[in-house]
Structure 1
Amino acid sequence: MIVWNNNAFQQKGMVYGRYSLRTVYVNMVYDSNTEKFDKSQLSHAVFEFSDGTQRNADIGKIIFYKQDHSDRYLDSRSSSSSSDGTSSVSFNVKSDLLLIKIDSPLMKEANRLYQIKVDGIDSKDINGIQYNAGSTLNVTSNLKMSLNNVDQFSFFDIKPCIFFKTPEGNTDTVRLYNFEYNTMIQNFTWIQIYKYLAGKGKF
Structure 2
Amino acid sequence: MPQLYFVRHGKTEYNLADRVQGGDIDSPLLPESKQDAIKTGLALQMETIPRVIASPQHRAVETMELITNQFQHPFSVHFTEEFREFRYGDWEGAFIPELRENYPEMFYHLRERPELYNPTSIKGETYRELIKRGTDVVHKACTAFPNEDILFVGHSITITCTLLSLLGKEIKDLRSAPPLDNTSISILNYEKDTFHLDAWNKTNHLH
**TM-score, scaled relative to structure 2:** 0.29
Structure richer in strand, relative to its length: 1
Structure richer in helix, relative to its length: 2
